[in-house]
Amino acid sequence: MKSKSTTLTKEERDTLVLGGIHPDGKQLSNAEMGQALGTSASRVKTTIHQACVKLQARNRNDAIILALMRGEISLNEIYSLDELAQRFSSLNPDMLRKLAHLLRRGMKHGRLLGKDEQIVRSGIRKGNKLTKVERDVVILAGRRLTNSEIASRLYIHIGTVRKSLNRACAKLGAHRRADAVVLAVKQGEISILDIFPPNELIQFLAPLGAESIEKMAQLVTEKFKQERFRTAGQ
């Protein structure tokens, strides 16, 4: 149960929801968010800071992830089902159907165990834009690690992390690390499961409900068929 000290206000929720929207894969700036919300960029910055303090987040993107995990905001407030299917297209549709089945059985805080966690990747192409280091850096950036933490995890210099992020951004057409993560998933360079383990992913998807998740599975299946048809025609 959420305590009063960590519950977001409507303004904080609305701001984080808008901050999670990525038109054309690019995150909105504070000025753009302020315009959409009918307020100033400085007020948006202050509101995000207040949300970060409540959620114990380091930045806007960290706050959005934590707000999703704590049920303060929902994925369907940020993305349509078509957009979600595109971003989760590297998942096996059977995994989505399994989750929907568990939800229909009344699962509230269930977990995928054993073979259910062994999600296979689809036939979507593997990354060929990013080098292994660039890919690893983008994945860890998606896990909300700082440049220093990424350097420590990969046993590389922090300068290499910065250069790798810059090169990845250039290759993906991104302006910042948050955009790079979104575009890397969208372009099939990394999988959503590279960022979130299955049981953590459930926390994001469960609030959507069984019917919506089954629809996502259907959309992902259709995408698989389109990819196979396109590949066969080449």
Q: How many CA atoms lie within 13 A of 118 on its CB side?
A: 2
Instruction: Identify whether the C-beta of residue 210 lies closer than 8 Å to the C-beta of residue 104.
Output: yes
Q: Rounded to an integer, what distance in angstroms lies between the CA atom of residue 24 and that of residue 32?
A: 14
- Is it true that 10-73 and 132-189 share their CATH fold? yes
The whole-angstrom separation of Cα 181 and Cα 142 is 6
The domain ranges of the chain are: 10-73, 81-124+193-232, 132-189
- Residues constituting the chain: 234
State residue 119's pLDDT score.
Answer: 42
Angle at 202 between CA 201 and CA 203, to 5 degrees: 90
**CATH number given to 10-73:** 1.10.10.10
Report DSSP state, residue 121: P
Query: pLDDT means per 10 residues in the chain (234 residues)?
Result: 65 94 80 95 96 91 86 87 80 82 67 48 59 94 91 95 96 87 84 78 79 90 76 63
What kind of architecture, by CATH, is found in domain 132-189?
Answer: Orthogonal Bundle (1.10)
* Stated pTM of the model: 0.68
